[in-house]
Structure 1
């Protein structure tokens, strides 16, 4: 697999090192010549230039890349690189690094981002996963925010203890993808019996998370429902969306304005 990484800082270099160890072809693009030839990145190809410039991306032969990773410390750069990779070079898969959580909403398919990696949010989720037992914890959002990877640690007094996976009426849009038991991963089957301390991992639509939480932990689901504010009686009804959506515009966390025209589906 050929991977082009924009940004050879600590994040980009770490990604490149892992990919090289797995036998993938890696090209790093960075403006700083001093990044070239790092001892721990032997086998990587290098291109010195501005990844936001079309000429640089053409020199990188982006049309031949399987994946483009935007891993710079600047969210604006990461968005531009992802958009150019998709719109100008037709790259199949783009991954964008989110530095400021306030900019997370922009990292979607309208800007050419297939997968957004929000490091601060991921670290928060991992901390919650380490301390939360008996509640559902979202680890990652997948496919531009439609689905998510979630985790549930089974408490000792859970009503699920002793039941098989196949005997539980899971939500239609939630699938058990792995069980972690005694630090060993288990491929789930309908005959697997749930034990206290099991970590259950699910791929689910975000819309189905509340339903899944109700199955896993009815008490936690009731508490969350009670804490949620009631809808205002003056709330206006939803209106139809125009066939041609307006341009998407917004402000980055650093105050810079960005605009991207939304595209209507082709006839």
Structure 2
């Protein structure tokens, strides 16, 4: 994929390096001359320009990108980049960094955002995951709030231990997408047995999240 990242600070550079290692084509857009440091991410293309300017995005040929990531430290900039990328250049997927949790409500399809990533929310979710075994933890909001990526860790006394995935009566609106077991990522199959400590990742709308919790707690 061709991926553009607006903002070449520490966050933008880290994302770029990860994507390059995944075999993607990446270029970084940065308006501060001091932050343009191609030697730090040598496999990426760089463009010294203001990503909030329509002409700059035209120069970057944003319309050829599969994904645009607005990763600056300024929420206003990230919103403008997202809106221009989606409405003016029809970029298929726009991901935006949320710096201030108080601004999270703005990061919706109205501003061209497909996925909003809030670092404070993610860190809080990881803390919750560590202490709330058996409870549902919301990791990320997807598709403008239409669904969430949520996680439930099976406790040691789970009634589902040893039972196959097909015994999980997941609501029709939701889907079990991954099981994390130790260092393994398992694509769940109907006959796969469940084990205590399994981290189950679901995509689900908010109104069925509690139903998922009840199913996991009381399946017997």
Scaled by the length of structure 2, what TM-score is found? 0.93
Kept after mapping to 2: 8 A contact 1:135/1:153:
yes
Cα deviation per residue 1:3-35 (whole Å; 9 max; x = unaligned)?
A: 111111111111111122222222211111222
Structure 2 CA distance for partners of 1:202 and 1:30, relative to 1, 3 Å: same
Kept after mapping to 1: 8 A contact 2:4/2:68:
yes
Structure 2 CA distance for partners of 1:192 and 1:58, relative to 1, 3 Å: same
Alignment of 1:103-252 (within 5 A): 103-217=103-217
How many pairs align? 218
Q: Distance in 2 between matches of 1:56 and 1:171?
A: 46
* Structure whose CA Rg is larger: 1
Q: Distance in 2 between matches of 1:187 and 1:65?
A: 29
1:192 offset after TM fit, Å? 1.9
Q: Distance in 1 between matches of 2:131 and 2:70?
A: 31
- Backbone CA RMSD of aligned residues: 1.5
Unaligned runs of 5+ in 1: 219-267
Q: Which residue of 2 aligns with 1:68?
A: 68
1:57 offset after TM fit, Å? 1.2
Structure 2 CA distance for partners of 1:185 and 1:4, relative to 1, 3 Å: closer
Asked if 1:28 corresponds to 2:42, the answer is no
Q: Which residue of 1 aligns with 2:100?
A: 100
Q: Distance in 1 between matches of 2:55 and 2:184?
A: 48
Decide which moves more: 71-80 or 20-29: 20-29
Matched residue SS, 2:145:
coil
1:114 offset after TM fit, Å? 0.9
Unaligned runs of 5+ in 2: none
Scaled by the length of structure 1, what TM-score is found? 0.77
Runs of at least 4 residues off by over 6 Å: none
